[in-house]
A and B are shown apart, each in its own frame.
Chain A
Amino acid sequence: MAIEILMPALSPTMEEGTLAKWLVAEGAEVRSGDVIAEIETDKATMEVEALDDGTIGKILIAAGTEGVKVNSPIAVLLEEGESADAVASAAPAAAPVTEMVAPAAKAASATPAAAAAEAVAAEPVASGDAVEITVREALRDAMAEEMRADDRVFVMGEEVAEYQGAYKVTQGLLAEFGAKRVIDTPITEQGFAGLGVGAAFGDLRPVIEFMTFNFAMQAIDQIINSAAKTLYMSGGQMGCPIVFRGPNGAASRVAAQHSQCYASWYAHCPGLKVVSPWSAADAKGLLKAAIRDPNPVIFLENEVMYGQSFEVPTDDDWVVPIGRANVLREGSDVTITAFSIMVGRALEAADRLAEQGISAEVIDLRTIRPLDTDTIVNSVKKTSRLITCEEGFPFAGVGSEIAMQVMEQAFDWLDAPVARVTGKDVPMPYAANLEAMALPQIDDILASAIATCEGFRGA
């Protein structure tokens, strides 16, 4: 059966092109893969190859012809035993081009909110016994417990083993679990982040420690392009159960390259969960949840918080579900959201607001993505005012997103514009006075809350 050779497209946007040159004549025998013609656009030249063995029966478009439409026949190929006489009659019937089914233009019916809605496990109820430990110890205990429970879990990073952790978070793990499961890496963030992703694809459960998340920018391609996107790009085949953890945000006097909050960076990308606890109990319970989670989890800690002590339940298996905020203090006049180190400042601000007769409700977000908007919206429906707190930059920050969510879901309940308390929009300065100015302080939260409440009181 004679086969039509069609004008090919060089790119999805090409509609027509020039048939620059024929490299074969009518009657020529060709083999599959032989170059038979050249076509051109303003951008590129491409060779047209024969796709079957046969004889060039007829050339339909002469060399030099411009404006040849894509997919129009340019020649006819005869298969073994066919004669050129067959061309005229056979060609029209033999156009084996299967028309594409027209793409369905209808918009997707499912909404992201509906599709993403997932029941979050209930808040754990502690049995009552608790012990006071530091955030540092809570994180270590979480890893140790999960390593005891699942031998696929291993910890990898710079100085995690023999040095016992740059900030001593992995203290004692090497002694208990050995060098096979507690692995010191070279200083090679992109490399070990990518290796961790491969190990997760290979059915292990890596916990990758970054000495700080500032250094994870070296590895962000592996985190976003490999860890976060592969489940989607594989049609659901390739889960990536990995935890990337380490201190995030400002420490003290370490200046711009070592003092950045990455919460909004990672929260921006679908395919990741982003967790940032404040208390030791949440640090432990959320890290255990993160290690068990079948998805990549960004676990943002805070160096300044490591040494702070909190009551932690002594329950055997203390797991706090990802995706659930926590109302730490109830109030009626204004809602204050915060995460990580800012929670302590928000609570302190709430105490001082109470002295001035303002009742503040404080929500510890705990998880940045998926954000527990229900808890925020329910609180705003009660207080009608909202202040968001974060150490990160204001532009496109976590507070910006919360403000938008509240506008979409609770606009009619707001009595005042949502206010953001954030780090200043500058690289972190070194000088002590400038650093203090750049970071959001308790006084900033107070001022913002008073302005929000006073300015609109009685409105």
Chain B
Amino acid sequence: MTRKITLTINGAKRSDSVEPRMLLIHYLRDVAGFTGPHIGCETSICGACTVHLDGKAIKSCTLFAVQADGRQVLTIEGLAVDGKLDPMQEAFWNEHGLQCGYCTPGMIMTAKQIVERNPHPTDEEIRHGLEGNLCRCTGYQHIVNAVRAAAGKA
């Protein structure tokens, strides 16, 4: 049993037939070919799979693909426009906000939402905003620096 869904990913509309139980992250990665978002836990704890759904950061491992029917998805691949990095991407690069890079796509999508909601967050507010995203490499300090640097530029 499959169901047809139609959605917009990074500005491009597409339709696919998916099993109702297929997770959005598996749909994005295995069906639509957007392997930027990663799977770190499948239990919504780690945030590696974070994408924006209708402009809100969500964990795509705990949503079914069918729940994204008719909606707008933005993944990390959709941030840079015509090869120009988003200020948040640029800030992660400048501030060494990543090491192995596995959590990074989710981290950047969450960081985008933090500064969209609060253009001038304090360090405490940044850290609070990043609570749903785990990183095992950086100790978060350079990530906080990156979000602070990008704030106001996004």
Do A and B associate with each other? Answer: no
